[in-house]
Amino acid sequence: MPRSFSGRFGNGAGRAPRIILGVLLAANLIATGLVMYPPGGSADSLERQAADLQSRAASNKALLESTRQHVAAVEKGRTEGDRFLGGYFLARRTAYSTLLTELVEAADRSKIKPKEHAYATEPIEGSDTLSMMTISANYEGTYANLMNFVHEIDKSPRLFIIEGLTAAPQQTGGTLSVSMKIDAFVREDGLITGAEGRPQP
């Protein structure tokens, strides 16, 4: 008598469609989930993220441009500062002889007679490399000579400051005895460097 296999395989044919339907249902659920909740976010979320990235990029670009402008301003300030120091602050090693020569030449143009000169140097507060030199100088001449001399000092390319001036008439000839204190500024030798890195005088 032939054996029946319905007991072992009779339910297999009905189970397969259910498995396929289950797989299709699961696939539909996954697809629906991906549509409703895409991995990168919804379209609105992606637009907001793109707008935020664009805003950050614009902000970073503006910050970079501002930084470049600050760097350029610092470089310009450094260049102008070096030019100012080089033009108005004399090297300590030659400062007194240079200033004395200029004062003597200014006195010669003004027809006032130079006499004794002395100087003292004091550091400028807050700086280790800059100092102020005070020149005490005596002259003899007329009032007109003195005014011309003051004018010559005023138009000098050096940064001269007349700190004090006294004039006393002498007994004869309408001549004045003049005492002046003149301030000028000096820097340590080699403080300013040229384009090739060599100290400027």
Domains observed in the chain: 90-187 (3.30.70.60)
d(CA 7, CA 10): 6
Give me the pLDDT at residue 145, please. 93
Structure tokens, 134:
């005070």
Q: Tell me, what DSSP letter sits at residue 199?
A: B
As a whole number, mean pLDDT of residues 91-111 equals 89
Residue 3, Ramachandran bin (φ over 0: left; ψ between -120 and 50: alpha; else beta) = beta
- 194 pLDDT above the threshold of 90: no
Task: Count the Cβ atoms, other than its own, within 10 Å of residue 105.
Answer: 13
Integer Cα distance of 129 and 106 in angstroms? 29
Least confident of 80-89, 122-131, 137-146, 160-169: 80-89
Please tell me which residue, 85 or 167, carries the higher pLDDT value.
167
Q: Are 164 and 150 in contact (CB under 8 A)?
A: no
pLDDT of residue 113: 93
> According to the model, what pLDDT value does residue 160 have?
85
pLDDT above 80: residue 31: no
How close are the terminal C-alpha atoms of the chain, in Å? 127
Instruction: Give the per-residue pLDDT at 62.
Output: 82
Residue 5: is its pLDDT beyond 50? no
For residues 72 and 137, which has the higher predicted lDDT (pLDDT)?
137
**169 has a pLDDT exceeding 70:** yes
Average pLDDT over residues 102-114: 92
DSSP characters over 133-159:
EEEEEEEEE-HHHHHHHHHHHHT-SS-
Given a cut of 70, whether residue 47 has pLDDT beyond it is yes
**CA 36 to CA 30: how far, in whole Å?**
10
Q: What is the reported pLDDT for 75? A: 72
Nearest 5°: CA angle at 112, between 132 and 136? Answer: 25
User: Rounded mean pLDDT of the chain?
Assistant: 77
In angstroms, the CA 106 to CA 156 distance is 9
Residue 197: predicted pLDDT: 36
